[in-house]
């Protein structure tokens, strides 16, 4: 039960991390110190998508599921709703490059605005 809870918690953390990579720059517009957490996270998110790097969160989640005696992602709410957001069907290398480019464009736009605001102040 503990391993299942750890795996499910990692899925939720994984989703939050992805959302932070995508939209954490918006938090930096409000709280500038967030940028020191967001920039490395955004770089990692882009690198994972562009270079097809393995995500350690996925590896740890699968390890915990194996230790919990689970074969795959069947069952409850977490697996049915959250996992399909993180691991959609049809995720090809081309789609991953597009996602990496999307993350990059969103964050360039946000940080350009943040830099303009900082320079004008």
**Model-level pTM?**
0.73
Count of structural domains, the chain: 1
pLDDT digits (tens, 9 = 90+) for 58-113: 888 888 888 988 765 554 445 555 667 777 777 788 887 888 888 889 889 999 99
Longest Cα–Cα distance of the chain, Å, equals 57
pLDDT digits (tens, 9 = 90+) for 19-40: 999 899 999 888 989 999 999 9
Question: Does residue 92 contact residue 86 with C-beta atoms inside 8 Å?
Answer: no
Domain containing residue 114:
2-120
d(Cα 55, Cα 4) in Å, to the nearest integer? 19
């Amino acid at each position: 039960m503990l391993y299942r809870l750890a795996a499910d918690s990692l899925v939720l953390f994984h989703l939050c991390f992805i959302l932070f990579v995508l939209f954490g720059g918006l938090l930096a517009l409000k709280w500038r110190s967030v940028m020191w957490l967001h920039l490395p996270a955004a770089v990692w998110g882009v690198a994972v998508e562009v270079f097809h790097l393995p995500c350690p969160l996925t590896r740890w989640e699968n390890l915990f599921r194996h230790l919990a005696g689970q074969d795959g992602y069947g069952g409850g709410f977490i697996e049915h709703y959250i996992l399909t957001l993180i691991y959609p069907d049809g995720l090809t290398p081309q789609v991953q490059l597009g996602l990496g480019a999307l993350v990059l464009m969103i964050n360039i736009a946000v940080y350009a605005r943040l830099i303009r605001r900082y320079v004008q102040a």
